[in-house]
Amino acid sequence: MTFSLNANIIGRQFECSEIFQNVTRTCFLFLMMFLVSFGLNAQSQKQKELEQRKQEILKEINLINELQFKTRKKEKTIISKVEDVSYRVNVRKNLIKVTNQQANLLTREINKNQDDISRMREELKVLKDNYADMIVKSYKSKNEQSRVMFLLSSNNFQQAYKRLQYIKQYANYQKKQGQEIKAKTLQLQQTNTELIAQKKEKQKLVDENIKAQKELEKELKQQEDLMRSVKKSMNKYASQIKEKQREADRIDREIEKIIKAAIASSNKKAGTTSSTGFALTAEAKALAANFVSNKGKLPWPVEKGVVKLRYGKQPHPVVKSVTIQSNGVRIATEEQANVRAVYEGEVLAVQAIKRGNLTVLIQHGNYITVYKNLAKVYVKKGDKVKTKQNIGQIFTNSSNGETILSFSVFKESKTQNPAEWIYKM
């Protein structure tokens, strides 16, 4: 009898050790599941960002098509046509690039899910085998000696209490093992469902890319045909571009003079002539600080528009041998479009620049925003303006139907990149 009890106790101790190992393995599995979940959340966030970027590009393509549809009856120069096609090509390439990134990310997720399914199937098999072994051992133990006899054979009350606690813990562990098998089965089914959805989403992306690639091929063919015409008179077009650059430089110098004169005037009023920047009042300093705090969040100066020329030194989009300098951005918009202030401030100047149409300068402390190529102006010097207030109407070129706003940002008399200030430019 004593030998039987000792053997049974040893068996129980062995089962306790086995339970401890299983609990340890379960904790490890939960840790792995947490890490996997964290990784999936990061991938999901990346996928959302890519989808948002794709929608922005599609919106830009639709706007380009809309603007070009409205001006299709106008006779554009060969250079303008090439610029339009080149711009569409670049945007289309961006769309394909983003869609490829989405597809590649989905491929990685699909491969990972396939690996997870294989791993979970193995884990589920081990869980079921362990559970079956545990049930068999429990049944044999029950047949060999009842639980009551196991408790009655205790040497003292404390040992009997511990054995009773063990029996309860063992029963709870059996229940938990059953629940874990159920949870693992549901997780496996969910992962399978996600895998099917991901494969469908990937196929959709592949189809979208095929369609975009076909459109790109058409645009590239159109670009090649137009470029053949340009190459016949490359020197003539290069001269025209250089002349336009000289005209743009002349207008920029006039704007710079206006700003420097305003700086000198503010310093004279403050009783100093040594500073190269604006002498600001406390109110102007607060306005400048608020303007800076909104960097990257300022609204566009037009309701609808696409950036045709970006800030900085760059090769001309058509005649690559010619370098152009842009002190701001050129935004294409629709005919009779209004221009609006990107932030509250005071109108510093309204200038009728020779051969450059009307220009409005708005001061925001020691920052200035400049709106060029306007046909009409609704404000005058000294007016206080609010964010998004209409300040004029953009000039539309009657010969080619283009409505282009030139927009710049200055800190004192130094130019800034507008894309760093305007929301998602």
Is the domain of 352 the same as that of 258?
yes
Is the domain of 84 the same as that of 224?
yes
Is the domain of 271 the same as that of 297?
yes
CA-derived radius of gyration, the chain: 36
Is the domain of 210 the same as that of 354?
no
Spatial CB neighbours of 313, under 8 Å, sequence gap ≥ 6 = 323, 324, 325, 326
Kindly report the number of other CB atoms within 10 A of residue 176's CB atom: 13
Task: Identify whether 42 is part of a domain.
Answer: yes
Euclidean distance between CA atoms 51 and 41, whole angstroms: 15
Is the domain of 258 the same as that of 224?
no
- Structural domain tally of the chain? 2
38: tokens are: 């964290």
Location of structure tokens 């895998």? 195
The CATH number assigned to the domain holding 305 equals: 2.70.70.10
Is the domain of 138 the same as that of 283?
no
- Sites in the chain below the pLDDT cut of 70: 1-42, 69-75, 131, 134-154, 160, 163-164, 166-175, 177-178, 274, 355-356
Is the domain of 187 the same as that of 303?
no
Task: Identify whether 100 is part of a domain.
Answer: yes
Residue 178: exposure state from Cβ atoms within 10 A (0-12, 13-18, ≥19): middle
Q: What is the pLDDT of residue 10?
A: 40
Is the domain of 126 the same as that of 13?
yes
The answer to whether the CB of 325 falls within 8 A of the CB of 249 is: yes
Could you say which of 189, 209, 232 is where a domain stops?
232
Tell me the β-bridge partners of 136.
none
Q: What is the pLDDT of residue 126?
A: 79
Task: Identify whether 175 is part of a domain.
Answer: yes
Task: Identify whether 238 is part of a domain.
Answer: no
Is the domain of 12 the same as that of 147?
yes
Tell me the β-bridge partners of 326.
312
Task: Identify whether 137 is part of a domain.
Answer: yes
Is the domain of 185 the same as that of 326?
no
pTM of the model as a whole: 0.68
Residues spanned by the domain of 119 = 2-232
Q: What is the pLDDT of residue 120?
A: 76
DSSP-assigned letter for residue 418:
G
Is the domain of 56 the same as that of 149?
yes
Could you say which of 198, 232, 266 is where a domain stops?
232
Kindly report the number of other CB atoms within 10 A of residue 126's CB atom: 13
Is the domain of 30 the same as that of 142?
yes
